Amino acid sequence: MEKFVTHVGTGVPLRRSNVDTDQIIPAVYLKRVTRSGFEDGLFAAWRSDPDFVLNQPEFKSGTVLVAGADFGTGSSREHAVWALQNYGFKVVISSRFADIFRGNSQKGGLLTILLSQSEVEDLWVAIEANPALAITVDLDAKTVSYGEQVIAFEIDDYVRWRLMEGLDDIGLTLGNSDFIDTFESLRAAHKPKTLPIRA
Amino acid sequence: MGKTLAEKIWQEHVVRAKAGEPDLIYIDLHLIHEVTSPQAFDGLRLSNRKVRRPDLTIATEDHNVPTQNINLPIADPVSKLQVDTLRANCAEFGVRIHSLGDAEQGIVHVVGPQLGLTQPGLTIVCGDSHTSTHGAFGALAFGIGTSEVEHVLATQTLPLQRPKTMAINVNGKLKPGVTSKDIILAIIAKIGTGGGQGYVIEYRGEAIRELSMEARMTVCNMSIEAGARAGLIAPDETTFSYIKGKPHAPEDFDAALSYWKTLFTDADAKFDVEVDLDADQLEPFVTWGTNPGQGIFLNANVPNPADIADAEERGAAERALVYMGLTAGQPMKSVAIDTVFLGSCTNGRIEDLRAAAEILKGKKISTSLRMLVVPGSARVRLQAEAEGLDKVFIDSGAEWRNAGCSMCLGMNPDQLKPEERSASTSNRNFEGRQGKGGRTHLVSPLVAAATALRGTLSSPADL
Ligand code: SF4
């Protein structure tokens, strides 16, 4: 997982609430056998609408998704996080996230930031007025800033530390490799092994 | 205070414990199949990681494989892609795989035990909820998600919250014609599909101790249908003699045995919850609805939703009857069946095939239905053929197939058509589970065979 300390990018205003994971990535796209390539399926149903925000050239290269309340509800599919990341999003801002989605995003290294609904709306207005507006997310300082605005946000210390160190669950466990090595050295010899193959 | 069996196994696998964090648990055996592993391997590749212990990992192909013409390429492109991807990943990462055509290919939960890899006291995981099957050997075995599959591949461990423990005491003896499938269906009907949530269930009592190893696997297999994290049974002589002589049985059998004999729940241990069931009161069981908890004695009538007090359950029962095309009050035995499916990781082992063949021998199945017999693994198929069971099935009019998950789930060519009704020895009767619009009645192999002969849901006593 990449370390996340600060990120500067442009925003995408997604003026919709209750965006569930079926809308983020419909089930038909789940048949893929890789963890990459899900960007095609991101918001698939809406992408065919020329007026949809991601079809506006000025928002195409945004990396900070600013969404309405209750983002990521529904099915627990981790593919929703992969799809957002594969497309290029680094941060999602909303006034309320579904728990499982938020958990999955933290596992995968996608930063989800909780702001108040009025802060989200101010951000929408600012981005729509100037799509090239630079948005700075500083995880160390726990702030989102754009123009003159500096907004503080809350985040769990443990989650923040993991993201700043770029540690996914596996990375964290590998940090305890010594414990695993010791455990393995003490394992009983009679425990079964799949290799070499015995018939 | 003493410890339960589950607590003992857990304790012995803690790699690292820290207050406020989940325990890091060592995994002794990791089983892999084609559906839930591709993104895990891809994740390893993306972060340049290796499989830490290929020698504790084994893969087989089961969910997507056809059970006919297995020498031809897999026709469905998505199924083919998943199987091909598994083969390529195993080759790249050095993981042992048993592919279609190999004697050890089959349903992952049939393959582990038949190789002797499933042993008491192990922690066993697989990206599949029916991993609980392996608990029959006194192992702590549970299903995991794809991220966890990747975690185990990379580290051979998992960070886990300690589960609670539940004892289910099945007291007394089973009547003839009543099987372990009836025990577990009765348990689920009693505690509900969420009754085991957050628990590891230990099945205990006289009726459980008297079950064969394979019958115990049937019970543990469906722990997940009661919502449990895992289900297990303390190992005993039945377990030890089943493992002895299997390809991967311990070379130093005595060393293993003296450890295995420590694996029981201490007399003064306390379970978080205990449930009792009288085995001698049980009769052949069958499901009438669309979840495994909606079950009833085969001799009974389709329940009337109006009699159900709980509003939510009543609504679920009403919807289930509509989906199943059943009328309240109708005798279960009057229900005509279109397809009998004998197979799956619940009841696709050699004993299941023997029990069904015993009933079918020298008789013809009803002309109003078809019967699919699908051995759980290629090894089971070979064994059955060596015993002449294939002839019994074919002579009775049933289809003799190759190994795989087959009609247990609508992911391969074996599927029900809309409104087609099955008596199935598998574990899930969810809407569409066996094919879109299909209607499933879960039954034991004995009921499956008797039903095949009579055309309507029946027990051997009806013959
Ligand atoms: S037989 Fe059915 S329940 Fe068992 S692993 Fe296959 S699909 Fe899952």
pLDDT tens digit sequence for A47-56 = 999 999 999 9
Dig out the tokens for B373 from the structure: 């017999």
With CA atoms as reference, report the closest residue to B428 among B125, B133, B185.
Answer: B185
The tokens for B426 are 């598998």
> How far is ligand 1, taken at its centre, from the CA of residue A27, in Å?
21
Question: Which of A 64-83 lie inside 8 A of B, CB atoms?
Answer: 78
C-alpha span between B395 and A185 (Å, rounded): 55
Q: Do B146 and A198 touch (CB under 8 A)?
A: no
- Are the beta carbons of A78 and B43 separated by less than 8 Å? no
A34 touches chain B (CB under 8 A): yes
Task: Say if residue B68 is exposed, middle or buried (CB neighbours under 10 Å; 0-12, 13-18, 19+).
Answer: exposed
Quote the crossing angle between the two packed helices B38-46 and B146-155, to the nearest 10°: 50
Q: What is the pTM of this model?
A: 0.91
Residues in contact with B196: Cβ distance below 8 Å, sequence separation at least 6, in sequence order: B166, B223, B226, B227, B228, B229, B231
Q: How far apart are CA A77 and CA A183, in angstroms?
A: 33
Interface contact B56-A194, CB threshold 8 A: yes
B345 lines ligand 1 (CB under 6 A): yes
Q: Is the CB of B344 under 6 A from ligand 1?
A: yes
Contact A191 B156 (CB under 8 A): no
Contact assessment for residue A72 and residue A21, using Cβ atoms and an 8 Å cutoff: yes
What local confidence, expressed as pLDDT, does residue B112 receive?
Answer: 98
In B, minimum Cα distance to A192 occurs at B117
Give the pLDDT confidence score for residue B267 in this predicted structure.
97
What the block records as the tokens of B319 is 């919807």
Total residue length of chain B: 463
Asked casually if ipTM beats, i.e. exceeds, 0.90, the reply is yes
Inter-helix orientation angle B389-396/B378-386, to 10°: 90
Select from B30, B64, B76, B155 the residue whose CB has the most chain A CBs within 10 Å, as the one to mutate to test that interface: B155
pLDDT digits (tens, 9 = 90+) for B386-426: 999 999 999 999 999 999 999 999 889 999 999 999 999 99
Q: What is the pLDDT of residues A84-117, one digit of tens each?
A: 999 999 999 999 998 889 988 988 899 999 999 9
Phi-psi region of B332 (alpha: psi -120 to 50; beta: other; left: phi over 0): alpha
Q: What is the mean pLDDT of residues B288-295?
A: 96
Mean pLDDT computed over B131-160: 95
Tokens 């890899």 belong to: B117
| % of chain B exceeding 70 in pLDDT | 100
**Any chain B CB within 8 A of the CB of A2?**
no
Q: What is the mean pLDDT of residues A139-145?
A: 98
What letters, b where the CB count within 10 A reaches 16 and e where it falls short, cover B295-323?
bbbbeebbbebeeeeeeeeeebbeebbee
> How many contacts, defined by CB atoms under 8 Å, are there between A and B?
102
- A33/B39 Cβ within 8 A: yes
Residue B342's pLDDT band (boundaries 50, 70, 90)? very high
Q: Tell which atom from ligand 1 comes closest to the C-alpha of B411.
A: 7
